[in-house]
A and B are shown apart, each in its own frame.
Chain A
């Protein structure tokens, strides 16, 4: 295909602002999906695939429009997968920026839009949902225009729902988005921007051919990881998998690799041809390592095998997810899982609960610590309860955080960052209104509720992004929690020494509120080593009766007791004490305890 006739673009939109509706409409307008029946069929087959535990991700759909080949590249739903998003954007020359006509621009969209601008993408702005009665297209258009520096007249007005304006969107992509400018004759280089797993064919890599071309059966190599394989099949999605004789410079498509392990092929890596390899990979590859860890435990310990199977299946499509078995005295058998970040954790948890119907308890997230033992050995600790008692030195991961915020909120953000042991790096005015703040922060300080705090203190206007900036020593101690004299491993925390007393006190106070009164007094203590730093008591219950119970009340009272009994089953027993699941999450919003 002549590169001049190719346009590669993605859609940037806040959740619910109409990204998938617009994508559907584009498929229809371009007759990529013939009619309604076919679409239903398509959905059905996806459902079926899902039941077998594979997700066929139509991550890049090719459509034809007025003699042009348009490739729509999906971006991961969340701005917090910044790295993945940036790889997807790097595979494009343009982006549709879709904003809800009633809601206007949202912080999340902003971060992705900036990311697109940084990647030199041509932005095609659209205001969507103009058919809604509460829509204010002029206001939304003005906002978008101001943000990306175009005239309000350049902002398209569409309704993805009714299809109004959708052909104009496609025209604008053809007119405004530059064609790819790869060197078709150069050694082949393709950017991997996503991958999925097919249970019969192995890892399927989604690639953007930047230079050169691939042909089927050609031996290929992932340059950063060194993984070698043969291209079993090449093709593109339209919207189903369609085999193609070649993938050429400028095109977007898939490569079936036959590899059985998704972690052998990482997003951001460059594929090249073994026969005529490129000398340099494409820029921007990062070896993304999990930095946030949490324990996942089945609420019902009988579900452990199901959780293990579910993690195995998720792992097939999620190279960044790592896990190993963990056993906790309080929570039983589960897995210690490593995630890229908090949202990755949220997504994994949600998929486990929704797709695999598991009831989970997720412990407070922690970061990876590096610990030097008295014998000089360095060990990595992913779980506070594994922090050795005897340590010479502890290092924790730091991040460089970029926070973009309207200028009125600069003070609030600085205050928050100071509370979180942040070190101010610099700030700059992006415009008269918007300020970029750069801070260095310990990752541990953001894994708990930093996002929530940032959002609530800036009324949702702040957008936030971070990069790991390495490990640094810290004065860190392990704080243990004892309930009725028994240490509860799942509640141990690693804290900065200066904050240990305050947080320990807050934690036992929170636990006192979370642990229901029992039939006896329950002491809750926080301790560093053998030294108790805080203590609270949950007083024993003195009365608990169902007052009136006569002929007409029996069924209702019985159901009440049965419900009470079922509620108890959801609790975890620590020694003789019943601890509700929520208590294990008490640690999560300790920092937010500002009244």
Chain B
């Protein structure tokens, strides 16, 4: 069998110490005794899909859950068994970061850590059910730095119930003080069905007007401090401040460029060659199938050419680089595009011999609606 071509691998580690009210990811609380068995299953799935992967991977991303909550022995075994890659990212929660863990990650080839800070205000962290305080966030950051992790991303959440504009500014200040290479900044989504929405949905709806400009404030502040707003919710230090390193998340860029990727673990999604599948979220069925040498139960979704084009547009327009649109004409509503250009929300151009399309700054703030309108 010839080697595969997929250069991006996602590994899902669902375990968490506790579940945060706002979270709607596939997560499992506790069960430390099951971690080793789950890692075995992950590695079995990896073997089953190995044929899809290129000999040399570009990126590996361990997401969760809280990957760093995984029992250390199991985590280390996993890291050692995973294929090497130019960028290996692990998501971490501040309270799990100890010098031992940092050292373990370094030994395991991790090049980048994405730290779930969310906020630096104790009340807001409590509101989000986070188990650590602001000091733990700072301390985790320094521990990682001390261990030699030179590419750290901070996750921040804004739009938390009760968060004033000055709270937001303080959070941004605190984050900037640490000078992380990368910042992801998300508006808190009241996803239906979560405990959080049940408890705070109405409050959030009431605050919607007051918080309307938070996104603008975030972009304004971070770009002023030399960060590049390279994706809707993602920022990295610009080349001029990073000694020439491109600090964008290479793994996530692969998604936004609509490249193929393989995902391992419960709930993980893969997209290869116009075919997408999602592993079922059940841990028991996952482990059980792989113990019997079978692929876990999956939902399959074929992606026809039209869907692929539309996804290319939807994902590409999240980035600050213009999207080459040659070959994507069928996915774009030409009349809508003209209208959006007139409104100063989209911009067409040409680069490297291809026509391009990008959203203007204001268009990016309205990216969802603008993209919905643009799609044919």
Interchain CB contact under 8 A, B368 and A519: no
Confirm or deny: A552 has a beta carbon within 8 angstroms of a beta carbon on chain B: yes
Cα(A246)–Cα(B345), bound, Å: 78
Closest 7 CB pairs of A and B: A564-B372, A544-B369, A552-B269, A544-B368, A543-B215, A547-B186, A561-B372
**Among listed B78-86, B94-102, B220-228, B309-317, interface-contacting one:** B309-317
Interchain CB contact under 8 A, A542 and B216: yes
Interchain CB contact under 8 A, B366 and A544: yes
CB distance from A579 to the nearest CB of B (A): 15
Confirm or deny: B373 has a beta carbon within 8 angstroms of a beta carbon on chain A: yes
Cα(A550)–Cα(B83), bound, Å: 21
Look across to chain B and name the residue whose beta carbon is closest to the beta carbon of A567: B372
Confirm or deny: A276 has a beta carbon within 8 angstroms of a beta carbon on chain B: no
Confirm or deny: B371 has a beta carbon within 8 angstroms of a beta carbon on chain A: yes
Interchain CB contact under 8 A, A545 and B215: yes
Question: Would A554 and B369 be within 8 Å (CB), given that A519-B343, A542-B216, A547-B232 are in contact?
Answer: no
| Pairs A–B under 8 Å by Cβ, sample size 27 | A519-B340, A519-B345, A519-B370, A541-B369, A542-B215, A542-B216, A543-B187, A543-B366, A544-B365, A547-B186, A548-B186, A549-B255, A549-B256, A549-B315, A551-B255, A552-B263, A552-B278, A554-B255, A554-B276, A554-B314, A555-B269, A558-B310, A558-B314, A561-B371, A562-B372, A565-B372, A565-B375
Look across to chain B and name the residue whose beta carbon is closest to the beta carbon of A576: B339
Confirm or deny: A568 has a beta carbon within 8 angstroms of a beta carbon on chain B: yes
* Residue among B315, B343, B366, B368 making CB contact with A554, cutoff 8 Å: B315
Interface residues in B351-376 (C-beta closer than 8 Å to A): 364-373, 375
Look across to chain B and name the residue whose beta carbon is closest to the beta carbon of A557: B314
Count how many chain B residues have C-beta atoms less than 8 Å from C-beta atoms of the other chain: 43
Confirm or deny: B261 has a beta carbon within 8 angstroms of a beta carbon on chain A: yes
CB distance from A145 to the nearest CB of B (A): 50
CB distance from B87 to the nearest CB of A (A): 15
Confirm or deny: B318 has a beta carbon within 8 angstroms of a beta carbon on chain A: yes
Confirm or deny: A546 has a beta carbon within 8 angstroms of a beta carbon on chain B: yes
Cα(A557)–Cα(B318), bound, Å: 12
Q: Which residues of A contact B368 (CB under 8 A)?
A: 544-546, 561, 564
Confirm or deny: A520 has a beta carbon within 8 angstroms of a beta carbon on chain B: yes
Interchain CB contact under 8 A, A550 and B255: yes
CB distance from A127 to the nearest CB of B (A): 45
Confirm or deny: B39 has a beta carbon within 8 angstroms of a beta carbon on chain A: no
B residues engaging A (CB < 8 A)?
Answer: 10, 186-187, 189, 212-213, 215-216, 232-233, 252, 255-256, 261, 263, 267-269, 271, 276, 278, 301, 307, 310-311, 314-315, 318, 339-340, 343, 345, 364-373, 375
Cα(A554)–Cα(B307), bound, Å: 11
What would 18 more interface pairs be, CB under 8 Å, given A544-B365, A564-B372?
A519-B366, A543-B187, A543-B365, A544-B368, A545-B215, A545-B364, A547-B232, A549-B232, A549-B318, A551-B263, A552-B269, A558-B307, A558-B311, A561-B310, A561-B314, A561-B375, A565-B372, A576-B339
Q: Which residues of B contact A544 (CB under 8 A)?
A: 365-370
Secondary structure type dominating chain A contacts: loop
CB distance from A529 to the nearest CB of B (A): 32
Q: Which residues of B contact A557 (CB under 8 A)?
A: 314
Cα(A136)–Cα(B267), bound, Å: 54
Interface string of A501-512 (1 = CB under 8 A from B): 000000000000
Q: Which residues of A contact B375 (CB under 8 A)?
A: 561-562, 565
Q: Which residues of A contact B345 (CB under 8 A)?
A: 519
Interchain CB contact under 8 A, B187 and A547: yes
Interface residues in A524-562 (C-beta closer than 8 Å to B): 541-552, 554-555, 557-558, 561-562
Q: Which residues of A contact B364 (CB under 8 A)?
A: 545
Count how many chain A residues have C-beta atoms less than 8 Å from C-beta atoms of the other chain: 24
Cα(A450)–Cα(B115), bound, Å: 61
Interchain CB contact under 8 A, B367 and A545: yes
Q: Which residues of B contact A558 (CB under 8 A)?
A: 307, 310-311, 314
Among A546, A548, A554, A558, chain B packs the most CB atoms within 10 A around the CB of A554
Interchain CB contact under 8 A, B252 and A552: no
Look across to chain A and name the residue whose beta carbon is closest to the beta carbon of B303: A555
Q: Which residues of A contact B232 (CB under 8 A)?
A: 545-547, 549
Interchain CB contact under 8 A, B366 and A520: no
Look across to chain A and name the residue whose beta carbon is closest to the beta carbon of B255: A551
Question: Would A552 and B311 be within 8 Å (CB), given that A545-B215, A546-B368 are in contact?
Answer: no
CB distance from B15 to the nearest CB of A (A): 17
CB distance from A482 to the nearest CB of B (A): 20
CB distance from B235 to the nearest CB of A (A): 14
CB distance from A352 to the nearest CB of B (A): 30
Interchain CB contact under 8 A, A543 and B212: yes
Among A541, A544, A557, chain B packs the most CB atoms within 10 A around the CB of A544
CB distance from A563 to the nearest CB of B (A): 8
Interchain CB contact under 8 A, A568 and B311: no
Look across to chain A and name the residue whose beta carbon is closest to the beta carbon of B189: A547
Cα(A562)–Cα(B212), bound, Å: 24
Q: Which residues of B contact A565 (CB under 8 A)?
A: 372-373, 375
Q: Which residues of B contact A547 (CB under 8 A)?
A: 186-187, 189, 232-233
Interchain CB contact under 8 A, A542 and B213: yes
Cα(A509)–Cα(B236), bound, Å: 44
Interchain CB contact under 8 A, B366 and A550: no
Interchain CB contact under 8 A, A568 and B367: no
CB distance from B316 to the nearest CB of A (A): 11
Cα(A576)–Cα(B338), bound, Å: 12
Interchain CB contact under 8 A, B369 and A550: no
* Residue among A550, A554, A555, A568 making CB contact with B373, cutoff 8 Å: A568
Interchain CB contact under 8 A, B369 and A564: yes
Interchain CB contact under 8 A, B372 and A545: no
Q: Which residues of A contact B261 (CB under 8 A)?
A: 551
Interchain CB contact under 8 A, A568 and B372: yes
Cα(A551)–Cα(B263), bound, Å: 9
Q: Which residues of A contact B301 (CB under 8 A)?
A: 555
Cα(A156)–Cα(B269), bound, Å: 67
Q: Which residues of B contact A545 (CB under 8 A)?
A: 187, 215, 232-233, 364-368
CB distance from A67 to the nearest CB of B (A): 67
CB distance from A581 to the nearest CB of B (A): 18
* Residue among A541, A546, A548, A555 making CB contact with B276, cutoff 8 Å: A555
* Residue among A546, A548, A551, A555 making CB contact with B367, cutoff 8 Å: A546
Cα(A546)–Cα(B233), bound, Å: 9
Question: Would A519 and B233 be within 8 Å (CB), given that A545-B215, A550-B255, A554-B311 are in contact?
Answer: no
Interchain CB contact under 8 A, B372 and A542: no
CB distance from A78 to the nearest CB of B (A): 39
Cα(A427)–Cα(B189), bound, Å: 58
Cα(A523)–Cα(B159), bound, Å: 29
Q: Which residues of B contact A548 (CB under 8 A)?
A: 186, 189, 233
Look across to chain B and name the residue whose beta carbon is closest to the beta carbon of A563: B372
Q: Which residues of A contact B339 (CB under 8 A)?
A: 576
CB distance from B197 to the nearest CB of A (A): 15
Q: Which residues of B contact A542 (CB under 8 A)?
A: 212-213, 215-216, 365-366
CB distance from A124 to the nearest CB of B (A): 54
Q: Which residues of A contact B276 (CB under 8 A)?
A: 554-555
Question: Would A552 and B267 be within 8 Å (CB), given that A543-B216, A544-B369 are in contact?
Answer: yes
Among B186, B189, B269, B310, chain A packs the most CB atoms within 10 A around the CB of B269
